[in-house]
C-alpha cells in the first residue's frame, strides 16, 4: 500500500502523510464504501443489526479514520497545501455524506431492521438505528428528486463557505502584528509575553518587539498592559478580524455570513422546518426555540443585576469609565487588590508538564485509569506527545496532545476524534483522540507556564477526551461523543473544570518553576476567593453570544434578511453590560457558529453547564474523590455515549433531574 492515509491498521502515519495523498485516499475509500454498500443492498439477506447495520457502521468508521488526519492537519498546520487538499476533498466527502443520508434503499433497510429489532436488543443498537432513521429524514431522504438535489448542493456550498470563513479568520489573525519600539508601551506585560514579542521581532529583523494576535498575546495584553492605547490597538485588531475593517478586505467574511445563514435556512425549510434553529434542535436535548430563548433569558434574569453590581464595583475601583478593552485589565487589577491574587504570580506554579501529570493523577484517582507517554508514536509536529490510557493491564485508547500556539494553527482549544471506538462482529478499534490548545510556547529554557485560566481550559478539554476514551459503546455512531446531543456534549468537559478549583487537585498540578514547591494554601485561598469576581459579567457575555447565535438562526427572513450586526445590537442592549464600539465585528470571527458545529447551538455551553454544575454537586455532597460517585458518573454518563437518552442517563446518575441552582451558586449568584 503506497498511500499512507489508507493504512488504517494502526495510528495514522503522520510522518508520511502528505497533502497529495488526500484526494486519492478519499476517492479510494469512498469508492470502496460505495461498492460494499451496493453489495449489501443487492443481497437477499434480511437486514438486521449484524448483517446490515454493523457493516454500514464499519464503512463510516473507515472513512472517518482516513478523513480525521486530514481535517486535523489542515487546522493545526494550516499550510496552503494542506488547506487546498482539504478544500478539494471536502466536496467529495460532503457529496458522499448527503448521497448516503438521502439513499432511500438504505433508509428502507434501516426501517426494516428497526421493525424487526428483538425486544432484548441492546440500547446501543436501538439508538444506532433510531439516530440513523432520524438523520435520513433530516437530510431530506423523503424529498422529490429536485429538492433532494438542491439539498445536496446546499450542503456542498455550505461546507465550502464555512471552510473559507475559518481560513479567513486564521489568515487575518496571522497577518496582524504591531511593531513596538518604545519599551514604555509594554509596561505591565508578563515577561514571557515580552520575551516572545522580542523573538518575533528578531525573526523579522526588526528592532524592539512585535506583538501578534495569537490568543495568548491578545489575552496577556488585554489583561496586563498598563497602556490603554496598547490594549485598544490589540482589541481593535481582534474584533475586526475577518471583517471589512480588518487588515485586508480579502478576508472579509461579511458575504460569507449572509450566505451561510441563507443556505442553512433554505436547507431547514426543504426538510420541513420553519428555520435553522428548529432544525438544529431536532438533534438536541432542548425541544423548542422558545425553550432555548427562555432558558437564556431566565439565566440572564438571575445574573443581570449581579453583573450590574460587578460592573459598578469595577468602575468604582478603576475610577474611570471602562471601555470594552479595559474590562479584563481592571478585573485583573481588582482581583489583585481585593484578593491579592495575580494571574502571573499563579502562573509560576503551573508548568505545563506538572499540570498534565496532576491531571492524569486525578483521572487515576477518579476512574482507576493510568496514563503513560508513548515516545515511539510519530506525530505532525515536535510539540506533540502521545499517551496511552490503560486499566488493569488493558489499553483502553490513547491521545495526542498539541498544546502550544504557532502560526497557521487554528486558535482556541479543542479535542477531535482520530479513531472512534468500534466493537462489532468481532472487530475492535480502540478510541484515539487529539487534544489541542494554544498555550504560550516554551521559552528558551523549555519552560511553558500556564495561567490558572489555561489550567481550567486543559481540564475542560481533558474532560471531553475522557468522554471519548472511556466509552464502552461498540457502534461508532453512538460511541463516545457521537450521537450525544450537542447541548449535552459540554457536560463532561465543564464538569471536569470544577476540579481545577480544588486545593488537593491543584497541589498535585503545581510546582513552582524555580523553587519546586506546590501552590501554597494561602495563594490557593486567594484564587478561590476570586473565583466569583466577574462571574456574573462572564455569564452575561455567554448569554449574549448564545442569544445572538440563536436569534440570527431562528428569526432569519430570506426576503428581508436583517443584518446580523443589527441583531447583535439588540441582543447587547438587552443583556450585555460592557458597551462595545461600533467597529466591533464579533460575528466575522465567530467560528464556533459560522464554521463549527455550534450553529443555533452556542447556548449549549450554558445548557450543559447546568448539568455539569449539578453533576459536580453530587461529588461535593459525597466528597469530590468519592469512588462510588465517580464510578456512577463513569458508567451512566461517560461510558454510554449517545446510546441512551441523555435525561434518563442523567437521572440514573443523579437520582433526579438537574436544576440551575448549582450553576448560580458556582457563579456566586444567589437564586432570586
Ligand atoms: Zn468544550
Checking DSSP bridges between strand 385-391 and strand 422-424, what pairing results, if any? unpaired
Q: Measured between alpha carbons, how far is 284 from 169 in angstroms, rounded to an integer?
A: 28
Cell of 411: 486558535
The confidence score (pLDDT) of residue 179 equals 97
Q: Measured between alpha carbons, how far is 146 from 113 in angstroms, rounded to an integer?
A: 28
Determine the distance separating the centroid of ligand 1 and the alpha carbon of 466, expressed in angstroms. Answer: 12
Determine the distance separating the centroid of ligand 1 and the alpha carbon of 517, expressed in angstroms. Answer: 31
Determine the distance separating the centroid of ligand 1 and the alpha carbon of 463, expressed in angstroms. Answer: 8
Contact 358, 392 (CB under 8 A): no
Segment holding 198, helix H or strand E: helix 191-203
- Map grid coordinates 437518552 to a residue: 645
Determine the distance separating the centroid of ligand 1 and the alpha carbon of 467, expressed in angstroms. Answer: 11
Instruction: Show the 3-state SS of 532-547.
Output: HCCHHHHHHHHHHHHH
Distances in whole angstroms, Cα of residue 479 to Cα of each of 68, 421, 459, 607, 664: 16, 6, 21, 22, 32
Looking at 513-579, list the stretches that DSSP marks H as alpha helix, in order from N- to C-terminal side. 521-529, 535-554, 564-575
Determine the distance separating the centroid of ligand 1 and the alpha carbon of 162, expressed in angstroms. Answer: 20
Nearest to 518 by CA among 505, 529, 499: 505
Determine the distance separating the centroid of ligand 1 and the alpha carbon of 457, expressed in angstroms. Answer: 9
Spatial neighbors of 438 by CB under 8 A, at least 6 apart, are 214, 215, 216, 404, 405, 409, 411, 412, 413
Nearest to 565 by CA among 312, 296, 258, 304: 258
Q: Measured between alpha carbons, how far is 518 from 346 in angstroms, rounded to an integer?
A: 11
Counting residues of the chain whose pLDDT is more than 90, the rounded percentage is 91
Q: Which residues pair with 402 in a beta bridge?
A: 436
Instruction: Show the 3-state SS of 7-76.
Output: CCCCCCCCCCCCHHHHHHHHHHHHHHHHHHHHHHHHCCCCCCHHHHHHHHHHHHHHHHHHHHHHHHHHHH
The confidence score (pLDDT) of residue 216 equals 87
The packing angle between helices 145-175 and 254-270, to 10°, is: 160
- CATH 1.20.1050.40 residue ranges for the chain: 4-101+103-138
pTM (predicted TM-score): 0.91
Determine the distance separating the centroid of ligand 1 and the alpha carbon of 101, expressed in angstroms. Answer: 27
Determine the distance separating the centroid of ligand 1 and the alpha carbon of 44, expressed in angstroms. Answer: 45
Q: Which CATH class is domain 4-101+103-138?
A: mainly alpha
Determine the distance separating the centroid of ligand 1 and the alpha carbon of 414, expressed in angstroms. Answer: 7
The confidence score (pLDDT) of residue 519 equals 97
Determine the distance separating the centroid of ligand 1 and the alpha carbon of 603, expressed in angstroms. Answer: 12
Q: Measured between alpha carbons, how far is 563 from 588 in angstroms, rounded to an integer?
A: 12
Determine the distance separating the centroid of ligand 1 and the alpha carbon of 459, expressed in angstroms. Answer: 10
Spatial neighbors of 267 by CB under 8 A, at least 6 apart, are 151, 154, 155, 158, 276, 279
In order along the chain (672 residues), what is the average pLDDT of each group of 10 residues?
A: 91 96 97 97 91 96 97 91 93 92 95 94 96 95 94 94 95 95 96 92 96 93 97 97 93 97 98 97 96 96 94 95 95 91 89 97 97 96 97 96 92 95 95 96 91 96 98 97 95 97 97 96 93 93 97 96 96 94 96 93 96 97 97 98 95 96 87 54
Determine the distance separating the centroid of ligand 1 and the alpha carbon of 109, expressed in angstroms. Answer: 35
529 sits in the region (left: phi over 0; alpha: psi -120 to 50; else beta) called: alpha
- Positions annotated as catalytic residues are 461
Determine the distance separating the centroid of ligand 1 and the alpha carbon of 455, expressed in angstroms. Answer: 14
Q: Measured between alpha carbons, how far is 207 from 194 in angstroms, rounded to an integer?
A: 13
Determine the distance separating the centroid of ligand 1 and the alpha carbon of 583, expressed in angstroms. Answer: 29
In terms of Cβ atoms closer than 10 Å to its own Cβ (0-12, 13-18, 19+), residue 292 is buried
Q: Measured between alpha carbons, how far is 592 from 166 in angstroms, rounded to an integer?
A: 9
Nearest to 639 by CA among 475, 473, 465: 473
Determine the distance separating the centroid of ligand 1 and the alpha carbon of 486, expressed in angstroms. Answer: 10
The confidence score (pLDDT) of residue 671 equals 59
Q: Measured between alpha carbons, how far is 472 from 479 in angstroms, rounded to an integer?
A: 7
The confidence score (pLDDT) of residue 408 equals 85
Segment holding 385, helix H or strand E: strand 385-391
Determine the distance separating the centroid of ligand 1 and the alpha carbon of 460, expressed in angstroms. Answer: 6
Checking DSSP bridges between strand 394-404 and strand 432-439, what pairing results, if any? parallel
Determine the distance separating the centroid of ligand 1 and the alpha carbon of 461, expressed in angstroms. Answer: 6
Determine the distance separating the centroid of ligand 1 and the alpha carbon of 501, expressed in angstroms. Answer: 17
Cell of 344: 502571573
Q: Measured between alpha carbons, how far is 355 from 362 in angstroms, rounded to an integer?
A: 11
Determine the distance separating the centroid of ligand 1 and the alpha carbon of 417, expressed in angstroms. Answer: 13
The confidence score (pLDDT) of residue 1 equals 61
User: For residue 220, how far is the Cα from the chain centroid?
Assistant: 22
Amino acid at each position: 500500500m503506497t498511500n499512507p492515509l489508507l493504512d488504517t491498521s494502526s495510528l495514522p502515519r503522520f510522518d508520511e502523510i502528505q497533502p497529495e495523498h488526500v484526494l486519492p485516499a478519499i476517492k479510494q475509500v469512498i469508492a470502496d464504501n460505495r461498492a460494499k454498500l451496493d453489495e449489501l443492498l443487492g443481497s437477499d439477506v434480511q437486514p438486521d443489526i449484524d448483517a446490515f447495520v454493523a457493516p454500514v457502521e464499519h464503512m463510516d468508521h473507515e472513512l472517518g479514520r482516513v478523513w480525521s488526519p486530514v481535517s486535523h492537519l489542515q487546522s493545526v498546520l494550516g499550510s496552503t497545501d494542506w488547506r487546498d487538499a482539504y478544500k478539494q476533498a471536502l466536496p467529495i466527502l460532503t457529496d458522499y455524506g448527503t448521497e448516503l443520508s438521502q439513499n432511500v434503499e438504505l433508509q428502507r433497510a434501516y426501517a426494516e431492521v428497526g421493525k424487526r429489532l428483538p425486544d432484548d436488543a441492546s440500547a446501543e443498537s436501538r439508538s444506532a438505528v433510531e439516530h440513523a432513521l432520524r438523520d435520513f429524514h433530516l437530510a431530506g431522504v423523503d424529498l422529490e428528486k429536485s429538492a433532494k438535489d438542491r439539498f445536496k448542493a446546499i450542503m456542498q456550498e455550505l461546507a465550502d463557505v464555512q471552510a473559507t470563513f475559518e481560513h479567513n479568520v486564521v489568515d487575518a489573525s496571522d497577518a496582524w502584528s504591531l511593531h513596538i519600539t518604545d519599551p514604555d508601551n509594554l509596561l505591565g506585560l508578563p515577561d514571557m509575553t515580552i520575551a516572545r514579542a522580542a523573538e518575533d521581532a528578531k525573526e523579522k529583523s526588526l528592532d524592539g518587539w512585535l506583538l501578534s494576535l495569537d490568543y495568548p498575546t491578545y489575552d496577556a495584553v488585554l489583561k496586563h498592559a498598563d497602556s490603554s492605547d496598547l490594549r485598544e490597538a490589540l482589541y481593535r485588531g481582534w474584533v475586526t478580524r475577518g471583517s471589512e475593517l480588518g487588515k485586508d478586505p480579502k478576508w472579509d467574511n461579511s458575504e460569507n455570513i449572509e450566505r451561510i445563514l441563507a443556505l442553512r435556512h433554505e436547507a431547514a425549510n426543504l426538510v420541513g422546518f420553519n428555520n435553522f434553529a428548529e432544525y438544529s434542535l431536532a438533534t438536541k436535548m432542548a425541544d423548542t426555540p422558545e425553550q432555548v430563548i427562555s432558558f437564556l433569558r431566565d439565566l440572564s434574569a438571575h445574573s443581570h443585576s449581579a453583573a450590574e453590581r460587578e460592573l459598578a464595583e469595577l468602575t468604582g475601583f478603576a475610577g474611570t469609565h471602562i471601555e470594552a478593552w479595559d474590562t479584563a485589565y481592571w478585573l485583573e487589577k481588582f482581583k489583585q487588590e481585593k484578593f491579592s491574587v495575580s494571574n502571573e504570580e499563579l502562573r509560576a506554579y503551573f508548568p505545563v508538564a506538572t499540570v498534565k501529570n496532576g491531571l492524569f493523577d486525578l483521572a487515576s484517582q477518579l476512574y482507576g485509569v493510568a496514563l503513560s507517554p508513548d515516545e515511539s508514536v510519530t506525530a505532525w509536529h515536535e510539540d506533540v506527545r502521545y499517551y496511552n490510557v490503560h486499566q488493569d493491564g488493558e489499553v483502553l485508547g490513547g491521545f495526542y496532545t498539541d498544546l502550544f500556539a504557532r502560526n497557521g494553527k487554528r486558535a482556541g482549544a479543542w479535542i477531535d476524534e482520530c479513531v472512534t471506538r468500534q466493537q462489532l462482529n468481532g472487530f475492535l478499534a480502540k478510541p484515539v483522540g487529539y487534544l489541542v490548545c494554544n498555550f504560550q510556547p516554551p521559552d528558551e529554557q523549555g519552560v511553558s507556564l500556564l495561567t490558572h485560566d489555561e489550567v481550567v481550559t486543559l481540564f475542560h478539554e481533558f474532560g471531553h477526551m475522557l468522554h471519548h476514551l472511556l466509552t464502552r459503546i461498540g457502534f461508532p455512531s453512538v460511541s463516545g461523543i457521537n450521537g450525544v446531543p450537542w447541548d449535552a456534549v459540554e457536560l463532561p468537559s465543564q464538569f471536569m473544570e470544577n476540579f481545577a478549583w480544588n486545593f488537593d487537585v491543584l497541589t498535585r498540578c503545581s510546582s513552582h518553576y524555580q523553587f519546586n514547591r506546590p501552590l501554597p494554601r494561602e495563594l490557593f485561598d486567594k484564587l478561590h476567593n476570586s473565583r466569583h469576581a466577574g462571574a456574573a459579567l462572564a455569564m452575561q457575555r455567554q448569554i449574549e453570544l448564545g442569544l445572538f447565535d440563536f436569534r440570527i438562526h431562528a428569526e432569519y427572513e430570506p426576503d428581508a434578511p436583517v443584518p446580523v450586526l443589527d441583531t447583535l445590537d439588540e441582543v447587547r442592549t438587552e443583556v450585555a453590560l460592557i458597551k462595545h464600539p461600533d467597529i466591533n465585528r464579533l460575528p466575522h470571527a465567530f467560528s464556533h457558529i459560522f464554521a463549527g458545529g455550534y450553529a443555533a447551538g452556542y447556548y449549549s455551553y450554558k445548557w450543559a453547564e447546568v448539568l455539569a454544575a449539578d453533576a459536580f454537586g453530587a461529588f461535593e455532597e459525597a466528597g469530590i474523590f468519592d469512588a462510588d460517585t465517580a464510578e456512577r458518573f463513569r458508567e451512566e454518563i461517560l461510558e454510554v455515549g449517545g446510546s441512551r437518552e441523555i435525561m434518563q442517563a442523567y437521572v440514573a446518575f443523579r437520582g433526579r433531574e438537574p436544576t440551575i441552582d448549582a450553576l448560580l451558586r458556582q457563579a456566586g449568584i444567589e437564586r432570586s
